[in-house]
Structure 1
């Protein structure tokens, strides 16, 4: 990997999942490696169940990310992973949860929820570099359902597409998260790395 890599990461989930917290932690991890990073929220809804989209752009001058430009798509909710596929460049990396947190439109019966098989088929049409994991279950195993996001970030850091590994995220957790939730998140990180390698 070059000394000044350009990597565009698109992250998506639903409100209440901690997508923006995970985005901020990832950006701080990048920054701690001495790399240029731009992070932003494209579309966020504070209310529970709204779509949340954000970016972490490493070594990029422009803060914008258009369709077909993301090197990596991180989906904290599988339906949102599928919805965000237009942003992924052909052959890019996807790391996604398999566990649904249906948005309001589905909960109210206005929209159908695709099956995980539908989502995997849609993803397979874009890339074969994909890892799915039951992030909420991993989070619960670590001690808190929200820690599932850290499991996904751990898998991302272990996937070999970033200029650093899981140790950098481990350090960022110790520096940036409150002491009382560090142990749970460090466990989730370890479980996420293990999930990638199974």
Structure 2
């Protein structure tokens, strides 16, 4: 898609904003106009973090209800909560592995059954890619790199004018070499998992 509204959501400590910045930087390096914003971010680990990347000259960083072409959820409950932002025919890429938010940890809310969440996601999306992001991150060498696995899974779906190789080039150029290798491995694992899920 030439223009795309991408809504990213997760909880603190998952690298949601790192993923947002890398996605925006990758698009810029491909010559695509980018508008990006952090709608709401809680500083503490476990707080909800929401950000946006809009590609193709869309000027406002805000994504309204029913406007997101792509929803990337780094935590399944947060993906579920954000489904109201998904446009008809939109695509969802989500982790299947829970990181219970503060409200659940404090006993103020119950975590829904993961099967219920997956069912709702698949019903809402024209295409849903569900991956164990934390497990893929651990396999690459750091659980936090699960965010890159999800980004790569989305790019492997050929929904944007650039793909996984462009993301990997951005990682190599912009991340500290000490962590770049882990994130490059996570990108490969995420892309492979996405392609396998679509087989």
Q: TM-score range by the shorter chain?
A: over 0.9
Matched with 1:90 is 88
SS at match of 1:35: coil
Deviations 1:13-39 (A, max 9, x none): 001111011100110001000010011
Match of 1:101 among 93, 99, 108: 99
Q: Which residue of 2 aligns with 1:187?
A: 185
Which segments of structure 1 move beyond 6 Å, counting only runs of 4 or more?
none
- Once superposed, what is the RMSD of the aligned Cα atoms? 0.8
Compute the displacement of 1:128 (Å).
Answer: 3.5
1:38-76 residue CA offsets vs partner (Å, 9 max, x unmatched): 110001001011000000000212222100000000000
C-alpha distance in 2, partners of 1:41/1:139? 24
* Structure-2 residue corresponding to 1:8: 5
Residue 124 of structure 1: how far off its partner (Å): 2.4
Distance 1:51 1:134 in 2: 19
Q: Distance between the aligned counterparts of 1:181 and 1:127, measured in 2? A: 33
Task: Give the alignment of 1:159-178 within 5 angstroms.
Answer: 159-178=157-176
Deviation of residue 121 (structure 1)?
A: 1.6
- How many residue pairs match? The answer is 195
State how far apart, in whole Å, the 1-side matches of 2:61 and 2:18 are.
19
1:34-113 aligned within 5 A: 34-59=31-56, 60-113=58-111
Q: Give, in whole Å, the separation in 1 of the partners of 2:60 and 2:106.
A: 38
Identify unmatched segments of 5+ residues in structure 1. Answer: none
Alignment of 1:26 with 2:51, yes or no, is: no
In 2, Cα distance between the equivalents of 1:26 and 1:127?
21
Listed as ranges, the gaps of 5+ residues in structure 2 are none
The superposition leaves residues 85-133 of structure 1 with CA deviations (integer Å, 9 ceiling, x where unpaired) of: 0000012000000000010100111101011111012112212300000
TM-score of the superposition, structure 1-length normalised? 0.96
Taking structure 2 as the reference length, the TM-score comes to 0.96
Query: For 1:31 and 1:145, how far apart are their aligned partners in 2?
Result: 27
